[in-house]
Amino acid sequence: MSDYLVRAMAGNAQIRAFAALSTETVEEARKRHGLSPVATAALGRLLTAGVMMGSMMKNPEDVLTLQIKCGGDIGGLCVTADSQGHVKGYVNNPTVMLPPKNGKLDVGGALGPGFIQVIKDMGLKEPYSGQTILTTGEIGDDLTYYFANSEQINSSVGLGVLLSKENHVQIAGGFIIQLMPFVAEETLVLLEENIRNISSVTEMLSENPTPEGLLKQVLKGLAVEITDTLSIGFHCNCSIEKIEKAIISVGRKEIEEMIAAGETVEVLCHFCNTAYHFTVEELEEILKKAQ
């Protein structure tokens, strides 16, 4: 099944909900970046959250960035998403390895202490930016904390990535549940009980691999209305023109040095790991444009 997300309302519009199946998206990221198992789980969770949070924005040009700066061996993560289901991202140390913790990939250990920053560029003069500390480094918890403390929205964020024996992505997905300020006490009690009783995201998805299935369990006992379905995927909008501009921006002196070295230069896109090559002749053309 191809990846997609759903947007929903529940309990008479007291709850806004998002859920995603992101298996192929995360597998694509794993292959492109050569991610270790724990890096796959960490980036996979952040990509899944990013694509759902991106879909909360309105305009096609809006861009959401999730940036984690942390002290653990993974060295930091970055994800960007638009409102159309496109998401991309990378980790600073893709080969990070840690022993499992309680039989699970130790994402919290790989991240260590740090911060998560959310930047929303919605075409305004100043992009919106909010930042909170990492609480557990497991990413779902950290975003729940971020929503409550930075955006004052009581939320529950669940994210999961399960790997096969061959360390390929077997299943990935997640949900974000957000409470409206006027939520009734009995709805709150019901929801809290549901959250307490559900199994992990990957267990729920293994039983029923759909975003609708996730919401059915998390929002059990509430009337759920799916308002929208959006197909999602790993997508990078880099191009030879953008990389050229990036080379121009490093300055004439550096370009002259590259030319003097007399060799073809390789430039990698951080987000998708695509390699772009520039011959000495092409660099000379770029130098002309830099004048």
> What residues make contact with Zn ion under the rule CB under 5 A?
236, 238, 269, 271-272, 274
Q: Which is nearer to Zn ion, 46 or 269 (CB)?
A: 269
User: Strands 155-163 and 169-179, how do they pair?
Assistant: antiparallel
Cβ at position 238, least distance to Zn ion in Å = 3
Contact 221, 194 (CB under 8 A): yes
CA angle, residues 118, 90, 32, in degrees to nearest 5: 145
Q: Which is nearer to Zn ion, 145 or 234 (CB)?
A: 234
Cβ at position 239, least distance to Zn ion in Å = 8
Q: Which is nearer to Zn ion, 97 or 240 (CB)?
A: 240
CA distance 253 to 257: 6
Cβ at position 234, least distance to Zn ion in Å = 10
Cβ at position 236, least distance to Zn ion in Å = 3
Q: Which is nearer to Zn ion, 242 or 252 (CB)?
A: 242
DSSP 276: E
Cβ at position 149, least distance to Zn ion in Å = 32
| DSSP, residue by residue, 189-249 | HHHHHHHHH---HHHHHHHS-SHHHHHHHHTTTS-EEEEEEEE-EE-----HHHHHHHHHH
Q: Which is nearer to Zn ion, 188 or 238 (CB)?
A: 238
